[in-house]
Structure 1
Amino acid sequence: MVEEELTRFERRGVVTVVPRSATGLRIGSDPALLLRHPVEEFLPAPGVVEALADAFTGEGLSVEARTEVGLTVAGENTLLAEVFGSPVLPVRNKYIRGSVRYELKAARALRSRVRPELVAEVRAPRSGFELTVAAAPPLPPTDRYLRLPEDAVRVAGAEPLHAAGIRGEGVRVVMVDTGLYAHPHHRAHGYTTSVVPAVDGLDPAADERGHGTAMSALLLAVAPRAELTMVKMANEAFSFPLAAFQRAVELAPDVISCSWGTLREEPQLHLEVADAVRRGITVLFAAGNGSTDRRTAMFQSVATPGALTVGGVHVGPDGARHASDLASSYRSAVFPGRSVPDLSGPCGTLPHGDYIVFPTQPGCLFDRRNSAYDGTAPDDGWLVSSGTSGATAYAAGVVALAVQRGVGGGRALRAGDLADACLPVTGGTTSTGDDCGGVCPNDAVGLGLLTAGA
């Protein structure tokens, strides 16, 4: 399978095209400009994106995704070299262990010979990484596992809302993740789902890694009647997070849930996120499982101002809450003054976060890998795991309930809109060293454990 994926993307490349803004202002490599300038100052003049899309299509290229602030363009590498000056070829990431991952690189600087006066920048897109926990020695099964959907509903305190008909009805949610396999669990609960591939060549019927299928089950446990579209951003070896986020925005949802980060910096993603928030879309990103947005780190968490960042809280069998030592918390290195997380969702603890029983695609990467320590078979379509990935999916479900109730009045929800629904968490220390310190809000968990309120 990986060999087939490699062959395909050796032949077919993908690039990010950033249109020239009407003001001349551009993000470049400094997303912190978003703290000093409104998103509107980064937008191209009306008609520019359409003109570029038409021009690239006229050259025989495919426009895989586009928003007001950027386009993802793909085509045979021989054609990319003619239009942009270089092919964009896969290079194996030698630092990621346990799975084969490729990134895309151009041999030379990329420039558009087509409508160059409208183009600010062309670059190879970054890959992404889904937030997971490394395997650890097996532990005996315990009664502290959360089962879906019932235990997610219980932790969220969503029973009264569900009984009153607040179940996410009419709320459009997009999850950007690795895919959504048609699991019997989803069918049994009557969930409404669809899948859209981020770029050509990603099979919408498969979830080769299995992460997205698992995360969707947690989101839908909390908001079972939400209209969920999965934008598949990855197969086993390749991932296209920026293109996937652009596709998510194109779908004009109420909520976008992102349980992942990027490999190295992807400045254009911050502009896409900020623009989505401007459009009224509530965007959630996972805080990370040890990752931050430190510029020199390979694994970059995403903390764009306006997005809701989600940390982790462990809820024990007795209901006691404490900050997860698996979850990240940090002061942003990209956006001075920005603290992560804004709020938190349920999350396991070290060494390997065995906390939630998830459905997944039988025999997928996570099914195989987690079976070494979670007590499930490598091909049974079930795994036990958690992290801020799950916390974010859960929080997105809670947000869907809030949207149905009219919270935010059609604009993107802010952390303050959800403050009254957060339970205080005053004990515990995160993976990055923040202690709750006996008070809440705090640096470790933000506003606390998000619930559905009443």
Structure 2
Amino acid sequence: MVEDELASFGRRGTVTVVPRSARGLSLGGDPARLLLHPVEDFLPEPAVVDRLADAFTREGLTVEARSEAGLTVSGENGLVEEVFGSPVVPVRNKYIRESVRYELCAPGTLRSRLHPELITEVRAPRAGFELAPSAVPPLPHTAGYLRLPEDAARLAGADRLHAAGIRGDGVRVVMVDTGLYDHPHHRAHGYTTAVVPALSPLDPRSDERGHGTAMSALLLAVAPGVSLTMVKMAGEAFSFPVAAFQRAAQLEPDIISCSWGTLREEPHLHLEVAAAVRRGITVLFAAGNGSTDRRNAMFQSVATPGALTVGGVHVGPGGELRASDLASSYRSAVFPGRTVPDVCGPCGMLPNGDYIVFPTQPGCLFDRRNSSYDGTAPDDGWLVSSGTSGATAYAAGVAALAVQQGIGQGRALRTEDLVSACLPVTQGRSITGDDCGGVCPNHAVGHGLLTV
């Protein structure tokens, strides 16, 4: 319940702590500095993170998540104010109208009285938003829906690999999303899954929004043998992307899949992502369903160099490929020279993206919302949708099959590792106005539809 979450996070504050780097460099508000210096120039000595974690714990605070780049710390707001100079309290987001969303903010200046010499910045964490088409009046359905797992495996060409025993076995995948409900669909297919909350107040047994449950089913359709851990970053009203990504990196997976963006800029997230890629973790982010990384935009996509960005391609009933007019493409405003997307996964078209039948938590936010136009009931645990969220989950499954086959040789996968497996897409236009122009690669779809 939103009221319970509001009460919990009203009592308990959460902050992001950025340690001082060993070489004195800081991203500050300019993530583009990652283009000028190696990632390690922005990282602290390992002992610094340990020292800060110990100090905060002794003070009675909880270190919710930590990485080599930073920490997420929480505690009763009286204690947070005592240690960091201000409480961190919920504020209603006035711009998201289809659901109730809150963010955290600090009324006063945040600074640590513990080891200030070791800390560059303390800040209230930005919220995240899961990517899904907006609810608009439906149009008549003109094409059949894709069913999981068989249609996703067929589109990827993965069914042939599955028959040969290449199913993602031994590959560790973490999905950062809204949670993972214990759905009969997942049980029926024998998937290996676990759930870890990004913050202790988040209930790992529930997926109040339902987005993560749906996305996990698409990833597992392509790579059913992976060991999948869901890091739950959100309840119904609050979300914590940086803490969740830190928690994901702590698990030391092969792949981290992220079908979401952030509300407003979150510069420190780019350092967390770059540090994970440096450690050999393949990181995927959705290109967005209309969002970009323009710095004045409310909804921000994530295009950290080294991460794989995933756009959308619609596969018609006859197999024809077309850039999805629901999916974003753009030239990064944060990282000059960076173009998005790198590759694409399957994605529906405007207005609703009705394309793939997903399992979800019965009665969750997306089950209720999508039922107004997708032909399912508001409490049946199924929805029809798509977007670059699903495209990213699909691409993460393809990446898992690549990792099992030794592609990348233990480092993070790069775009060039996957180019030969992309089908060219030469027709269509993205939601942000890029036209394929009869050639591929192109700005609308990058290198095209990723397959195995």
Common fold, TM-score beyond 0.5? yes
Q: Where does 1:27-176 land on structure 2 (aligned, <5 Å)? A: 27-176=27-176
Give runs of ≥4 in structure 1 deviating > 6 Å.
Answer: none
What are the superposed Cα offsets for residues 2-59 of structure 1, whole Å, 9 maximum, x if unpaired? 0110000000010000000111101110000000000110111230000000000011
Structure 1: runs of 5 or more not aligned: none
Question: Where does residue 291 of structure 1 map in the other structure?
Answer: 291
What SS does the aligned partner of 1:231 have?
strand
What SS does the aligned partner of 1:397 have?
helix
Question: Where does residue 381 of structure 1 map in the other structure?
Answer: 381
Whole-angstrom distance in 2 between the partners of 1:265 and 1:175: 21
What are the superposed Cα offsets for residues 37-82 of structure 1, whole Å, 9 maximum, x if unpaired? 0011011123000000000001100000000110000000000000
Do residues 189 (structure 1) and 189 (structure 2) align? yes
Question: Where does residue 342 of structure 2 map in the other structure?
Answer: 342
Whole-angstrom distance in 1 between the partners of 2:143 and 2:295: 40
Whole-angstrom distance in 2 between the partners of 1:434 and 1:163: 38
Do residues 271 (structure 1) and 271 (structure 2) align? yes
Q: Where does 1:318-337 land on structure 2 (aligned, <5 Å)? A: 318-337=318-337
| Conserved? CA contact 1:287–1:327, under 8 Å | yes
What SS does the aligned partner of 1:47 have?
helix
| Conserved? CA contact 1:261–1:301, under 8 Å | yes
Whole-angstrom distance in 1 between the partners of 2:86 and 2:197: 25
Question: Where does residue 352 of structure 1 map in the other structure?
Answer: 352
Structure 2: runs of 5 or more not aligned: none
| Conserved? CA contact 1:306–1:414, under 8 Å | yes
Question: Where does residue 424 of structure 1 map in the other structure?
Answer: 424
What are the superposed Cα offsets for residues 77-120 of structure 1, whole Å, 9 maximum, x if unpaired? 00000000000000000110110000000011100000111111
The residue type paired with residue 433 of structure 1 is G
The residue type paired with residue 53 of structure 2 is A
The residue type paired with residue 112 of structure 1 is S
- Using the TM superposition, give the Cα deviation of residue 365 of structure 1 relative to its aligned residue in structure 2, in angstroms: 0.1
Question: Where does residue 449 of structure 1 map in the other structure?
Answer: 449
Question: Where does residue 11 of structure 1 map in the other structure?
Answer: 11
Percent identity between matched residues is 80
Do residues 434 (structure 1) and 444 (structure 2) align? no
Whole-angstrom distance in 1 between the partners of 2:165 and 2:8: 46
- Using the TM superposition, give the Cα deviation of residue 136 of structure 1 relative to its aligned residue in structure 2, in angstroms: 2.1
- Using the TM superposition, give the Cα deviation of residue 142 of structure 1 relative to its aligned residue in structure 2, in angstroms: 5.0
Whole-angstrom distance in 2 between the partners of 1:175 and 1:315: 25
What are the superposed Cα offsets for residues 144-197 of structure 1, whole Å, 9 maximum, x if unpaired? 210000000110011211111110000000000000000000000000000000
Whole-angstrom distance in 2 between the partners of 1:391 and 1:160: 20
| Conserved? CA contact 1:233–1:244, under 8 Å | yes
Q: Where does 1:214-229 land on structure 2 (aligned, <5 Å)? A: 214-229=214-229
Do residues 281 (structure 1) and 304 (structure 2) align? no
The residue type paired with residue 176 of structure 1 is V
Question: Where does residue 392 of structure 1 map in the other structure?
Answer: 392
Whole-angstrom distance in 2 between the partners of 1:138 and 1:47: 56
Question: Where does residue 179 of structure 1 map in the other structure?
Answer: 179
Whole-angstrom distance in 2 between the partners of 1:109 and 1:264: 19
Question: Where does residue 247 of structure 2 map in the other structure?
Answer: 247
The residue type paired with residue 378 of structure 1 is P
What SS does the aligned partner of 2:46 have?
coil
The residue type paired with residue 208 of structure 2 is E
Question: Where does residue 231 of structure 1 map in the other structure?
Answer: 231
> Number of matched residues?
452
The residue type paired with residue 368 of structure 1 is R
What SS does the aligned partner of 1:181 have?
coil
| Conserved? CA contact 1:141–1:375, under 8 Å | no
- Using the TM superposition, give the Cα deviation of residue 343 of structure 1 relative to its aligned residue in structure 2, in angstroms: 0.5
What SS does the aligned partner of 1:206 have?
coil
Whole-angstrom distance in 2 between the partners of 1:374 and 1:368: 10
Whole-angstrom distance in 2 between the partners of 1:345 and 1:159: 16
The residue type paired with residue 105 of structure 1 is C
| Conserved? CA contact 1:144–1:316, under 8 Å | no
Do residues 315 (structure 1) and 315 (structure 2) align? yes
Whole-angstrom distance in 2 between the partners of 1:335 and 1:136: 33
| Conserved? CA contact 1:429–1:435, under 8 Å | yes
Whole-angstrom distance in 2 between the partners of 1:302 and 1:33: 16
What SS does the aligned partner of 1:444 have?
coil
What SS does the aligned partner of 1:354 have?
coil
| Conserved? CA contact 1:139–1:374, under 8 Å | no
Whole-angstrom distance in 1 between the partners of 2:198 and 2:59: 21
| Conserved? CA contact 2:280–2:410, under 8 Å | yes
| Conserved? CA contact 2:127–2:240, under 8 Å | yes
Whole-angstrom distance in 1 between the partners of 2:56 and 2:40: 25
| Conserved? CA contact 2:139–2:351, under 8 Å | no
Question: Where does residue 364 of structure 2 map in the other structure?
Answer: 364
Moved more, 21-30 or 129-138: 129-138
